[in-house]
Structure 1
Amino acid sequence: MNNDSKIYIGGHTGMVGSALVRKLKNEGFKNVIFRTSSELDLTKQQAVKAFFETEKPDYVFLAAAKVGGILANNTYRGQFLYENLMIQNNVIHQSYVHGVKKLLFLASSCIYPKMAPQPIREEYLLTGKLEHTNEPYAIAKIAGLKMCENYNLQYGCDFISVMPTNLYGPNDNYDPETSHVLPALLRKFHDAKNDQTETVEVWGTGAPKREFLHVDDLAEACLHLMKTYSGNVSVNIGTGEDISIRDLAESIKTITGYKGKITWDTSKPDGTPRKLLDVSLIHSLGWKHSISLEKGIRKVYEEKFLR
């Protein structure tokens, strides 16, 4: 890659895509292209074909996807499977047809078996049953990374896949009904502080552990791999460190300045006890995260709620 390479980012308005845009522009890449979903519907084969014929990108970051929380994943199962398969099929295939030099596909750590050993190594893929609630989304993502792998094998492409852990950062979703745990807790504690609420209730026991990665670290890792890595092993991207939901809540309470109490609704489910990625491969490839969880949360809180 050089600074004049034409780089297409699919899904540039999302949390991951917008982080990639920021990273590339900060690194001096001058020819970054993208389209909004209203300008280019990636589920439409002919529209994607026409885009690639006209623009002829050299490199592609495929961060576009139909995404949502547990409720959305479980409710719109057919839609999540169909739309994600169509987006991936169209972009990956047209990248091959039009001679894209390299493509990076964003998968997800939810593609691993529900009861995978911890920490989760890349080779655990397809060794057990998936979590039922997000199975259609996971199957679509598995199909995408297998498409990259097999286009490499059959056509000699240079298409790679990555599997990020739980992400947070600018352009995250803070809707209390649909957001993931970290932004949901930030919203809860911030609102409770402003409303002077005496208690904040959190679901479960607080015992489960989760790993969190700032999206700017993910963007840095993706660019590093795009520059340096080729292969059919889909690479985990994470911190290799996890934290209990209880400790996360206490940390966010401190960061937001909330002075009340935390109560735990143990009638609500905890979910998977632990979900931690093994990141030894990406460490061996020369990348490691640089944003600590506390620093990252403070930065996100200041940018989202205090400006």
Structure 2
Amino acid sequence: MTIRTMSSDEASTVGTLIHESTNAWYKAKLGHEIFTGKPEDCKIFIDTYQLLDPGCCLVAEDEGKIVGACFYHPRETHVGVGIMAVRPEATGKGVGKALLDEVIKRAEDLPLRLVSSAMNLDSYSLYTRAGFGPVAVYQDMRIPPDVELPPPPAGPGSVRMANVSHLFGMADLEEEISGIRRAKDLAHFVRNPGGYWTTFVHIAPSGKIDGWLSSVDHAGCRMIGPGVMRDENAALALLHMQLSQARGGSPVFLIGTHESYLIAELYKWGARNVEIHFAQVRGSFSPPGGIIMPTFLPESG
């Protein structure tokens, strides 16, 4: 088995691998597929990652066939570990470990961060054996499309569409709250290449940004996040605005299980739990100073 960088002409192959391997696991373990669209829909992951981080996808090749892939995202403060996919027939053969070992090697001394399903004990074991540790638990929540949202929550401040003038404030706020900085991700969300990103900022009465929240609406990924907020007021206002947008489907969003007030309010809105995820870190980590809503495109933990 050889671990190497994905070539540009292998993008469709890797997109199909993500679709087929992920659906195979969900079908076998939970009785349903997670990607309901076409395999080519998963190309959004490759397109986004290659635009942000060209050359940062590793593939595992065995006898001339790609049997696994893993994306990674070098940032100012850390390295994000992205989607890892292994062909069902190659599971248990060390493919995931070989890919992860190479990502760890390339990260050098930077901390590594990821978000992984709590339902997949194989991946949990893979990461914890490699030195990752869970630092937060998130509820994946969704509001069914037939549920009518309540009126916008009342509270100080206002929600606005984000623009490039907000980028430095957004980046500073995320670093203050979560300890990470990833300016080019935020620029990608705000500039919206492809036309499926939406980003809002919450402006406090003082005029400063005290929260921001992005979302993606694409057949291959419908999620609200990532985002950070100083408090529940900003979080609820931003979530309500995102949920009020016209979309092609019902988006998933991740809320920390310790955010009891936020979760209670979202239950009142009609939110339901669909899965559990762990944020895991290998290396230094500081407790957050506010609310964090992670996502899978691109991952940050």
| TM-score normalized with structure 2 length | 0.26
Greater helix content: 1
Greater strand content: 2
Structure number with bigger Rg:
1
Q: Which has the higher contact order (CA 8 A, sep 6+)?
A: 2
| TM-score normalized with structure 1 length | 0.26
